[in-house]
């Protein structure tokens, strides 16, 4: 718990309170043994602290962090399902996002240019 508190810049008493309220979870092998946290919990605690520092109440900060985590899960699902190929080109990194649902003869690609600008393009599927 101490390591998590230090890494996330919160107090151990905050962590205990958040755990009692059910906002975060730890694993304990025995009663009164040290709390063990998953890496994801560190990011969750850091997110909650961020929203608290922005002036939100604890329940709102937890809700906002939950929403952010759900959005990240959706984004991960998008990456897993839709990135068909990555390739370095003269223009930048080409990301093949696959065919359009309503027109499978057309596919979408994203070109990430050196200036971090992203262009989306349609191309004919082979």
Query: How do residues 57-71 score in pLDDT, each as one tens digit?
Result: 999 999 999 999 999
For the whole model, what pTM was predicted?
A: 0.74
Query: How do residues 88-114 score in pLDDT, each as one tens digit?
Result: 999 999 999 999 999 999 999 999 998
Q: Which of 83, 103, 81 is nearest to 93 (CA)?
A: 83
Q: What separation in angstroms does the CA of 79 have from each of 72, 123, 125?
A: 10, 20, 20
**CATH assignment, 2-81:** 1.10.1660.10
**What dihedral do alpha carbons 54, 56, 60, 66 form, nearest 10°?**
10
pLDDT band at 35 (very low <50, low <70, confident <90, very high): confident
Domain locations in the chain as residue ranges: 2-81, 83-124
pLDDT(32) > 70: no
Residues in the chain: 126
């Amino acid at each position: 718990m101490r390591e998590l508190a230090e890494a996330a810049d919160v107090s151990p008493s905050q962590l205990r309170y958040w755990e009692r309220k059910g906002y975060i979870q730890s694993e304990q092998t025995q009663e009164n043994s040290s709390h063990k946290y998953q890496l994801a919990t560190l990011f969750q605690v850091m997110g909650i602290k961020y929203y608290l520092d922005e002036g939100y109440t604890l329940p709102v900060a937890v809700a906002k962090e939950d929403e952010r985590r759900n959005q990240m899960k959706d984004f991960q699902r998008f990456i897993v399902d839709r990135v068909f190929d990555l390739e370095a080109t003269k223009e930048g990194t080409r990301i093949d996002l696959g065919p359009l649902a309503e027109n499978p003869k057309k596919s979408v690609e994203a070109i990430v240019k050196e200036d971090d600008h992203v262009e989306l393009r349609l191309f004919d599927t082979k």
